[in-house]
Amino acid sequence: MINGVLVGFLIMLVSIPIPIVHFIAVPISPFVAGFIGGGIAKTDEKTTIRFGLFMSLLMSIPGLIFILFRVIFGINEVFGITSDIFIVILLVLIPYTWFGSTIGALISYIIRKNQEKT
């Protein structure tokens, strides 16, 4: 499962810096990462939710680091966005990542299950 989660995490991170493509890739990257990572991890109906939880926990690390920097160093602004709004954005994106990666892993499992039947 760790390999699938790490591959999914890398897919989401790689989709961020690509110019122009990131406008399309970033919103669908949790789903794509869950689909590909779930295939690598060979998730089943019992482990898809856990897979999505691990993905969202991994994506929450940058947010936790930012909150830590805010508390320690008193950073009030990041790229012109106040730190309070930045934290709210991060708190919204973590459940979005969980939902997208869980649905992607579930669809990956359903496709694998249907291929095994035929």
* Cα 16 versus chain centre, distance: 12
For 21-77, what is each residue's pLDDT tens digit? 888 988 999 999 999 999 999 998 889 999 999 999 998 887 788 788 878 887 777
Single pTM value for the model: 0.83
CA angle (90 as vertex; 2, 6 as ends), nearest 5: 15
For 81-101, what is each residue's pLDDT tens digit? 777 787 788 888 889 999 999
Query: Is the distance from CB of 101 to CB of 43 less than 8 angstroms?
Result: no
Q: What is the pLDDT of residue 21?
A: 84
Higher pLDDT: 80 or 93? It is: 93
